[in-house]
Each structure stands twice: as structure tokens, then as C-alpha cells.
Structure 1
Amino acid sequence: MSAPSSGPDPSRLRIGDTERNSAMDALSEHLGKGRIDLDEFGTRSAQVTQARTVADLQALFTDLPAPHPTLPGPPAPVRAAAIPVTPSAGVPARPDDTRTPAQRGAAVLLAASGIIALVLFFLVKTWLVFLIPALIAVVTSALWGSDWRNRS
């Protein structure tokens, strides 16, 4: 015999505009964090507008970390974060980041070079300082190439 049911299956509960808006807010945050691209955001947004049950919305967030939409019923299980809080030297800041410390440093230098060039422009009053980011990009590209992510 089967055990007596304690009520309706929470995943089959109907949702309303509040839950759909919560799902859209969560998707927007994932888009802003770069976890999904604009095309995937559009696809998932369309699915949110067509969702009718809790299960329909939960299916859209199974591969994404928090935030998830606020839904009726018991909360979805929370996955533990795999990203170290304070990475030590030589350990990637993200598990999927296979760059060496030198490559990560070059990326930071390239990002900062735009600000440095702007400050130097006002100090030395020449537009040539805006070639600094381009020079750093050319040098780092020559050292590691554009396919560094594909190397073992």
C-alpha cells in the first residue's frame, strides 16, 4: 500500500504574476552576472511568461545558482558554492579558470591600463597614451594567443 498523501504535490501548484515577476528578476540578475547570455535570457523569459506551475519555473533554474524565484511550497535544494573565498597563489579564483597567475595578472593589467591611459592623458596631454592598452593586448596575445582556454 502507498503512504497517505499529506496534500497536493507542491511542484504542481499553479503560479501567478508574483512568481513570474520573481523569476524574471532572478533571470535578470543571472544575465547581469554573465551566467546566461542575451539569447538564453530571451528564451527563458518567454518560458517564464508561459509557465503555469511551480515545476515549470523550477525547471528553468536547475542549472543556475541562487537567486531563484520565490515560489509557493517547500524551497528548492541549495547547492554549496564551489568557489573558494580567498584563493591562494597559483589556485584559480574560479574552478573553470585555467589561466596561469601570469595570465590572470596580464588580464588585470589590461583592464587597468585604460584607466591609467586616461590619467596619463590629462597629465602629459598627448593622445598617444591611449595606445598603451592596445600595446598590452598585442603583447599578451603574442605570448599566449587567443586560444589559451583550450590548452591543457
Structure 2
Amino acid sequence: MSAYLRPKVPGACVFFTVNLVDRGADTLVRHVEVLRQAVVVTKGKRPFRIDAWVVLPDHMHCVWTLPEGDADFSTRMGAIKGRFSKALPEGRVRASHIIRREKGIWQRRFWEHHIRSEEEFGAYVRYCWINPVKHGLVEHPDAWPHSSWHRDGGGDLLP
């Protein structure tokens, strides 16, 4: 069994990458309203600030800032993934999914990085915004509808 330990820094600013099991699927954009609702409900129960977010067909990136005195980003991400999964039919389920009561939609883990400077913060926000361009989905971030670019007017942060 894995013994991976995630850092616990109260009030941290954290960058995430979260993937579907089925890389190449379009599940996240096809069900983006379900994902939005999962985020809204989770934020209502366990607040955090969304600094940047982009939803692509099979993965998402986001930057959050946790409340002062709170380091529990993992429970929040788990709740979002769980609420999203609960609203959808099962994916391709293996025996290990059944044992863990998973639907086979998300990869079990997610990647996170604690942001330690304003420079890093800007780089990760830009990474979120430019990701649809990097994946060849659009030619400019403003053409991708599932991004905080539209909320934040991101033009002045791009190189």
C-alpha cells in the first residue's frame, strides 16, 4: 500500500492536475454543469478561493487558496470528484474499483504543487489559461469556454 504524504500547509495556495481514467474521453466538458455544481456544493461546505480553473475534456487544472488555518485540500478535491462521479453512470469498472466503491471515472490520485511565490502563482495561472491552446483545442484562451480566463480577463498575464 502507498504511503504518500501530502504537505499540510494552512492557508496554502495550491495548483492541481486531476485526470480521468479514460484519457481521451470528453466526460468533463460534456458534463461540465455537473462538475460546476459539485464545486459549488463543496465550496459551500468547505470554502476555498478559486484563483484559476480550466476544464478540458479529460482533465482539469486549478489553483486554489485555502482559508487561513485550513490545510485540507485533499478532502475538498475528493468531495468534488465524488459528487461529480455520483451524478454519472459508471465508467469501465475493474475489480479494484468495486472494492473501493469507485465508478472508474477519475484516476485515484491527483497531482498537487504548493505555490511558494507570486512568480510561481502567475506561472500556474497562465498554465491553466493556456492549456486548451497547448492541447490544440483552440487558438487563443478566450475561445475556450471552460476557463477562469473569462472571469479574470487574463490578457495581461499572458507572455
Category of TM-score, reference length = shorter chain: under 0.3
Larger Cα-atom Rg: 1
Return the structure number with greater relative CO, CA threshold 8 A, min gap 6. Answer: 2
**TM-score of the aligned structures, taking structure 2 as reference length:** 0.26
> Which structure's residues are more often helix, by fraction?
1
**TM-score of the aligned structures, taking structure 1 as reference length:** 0.27
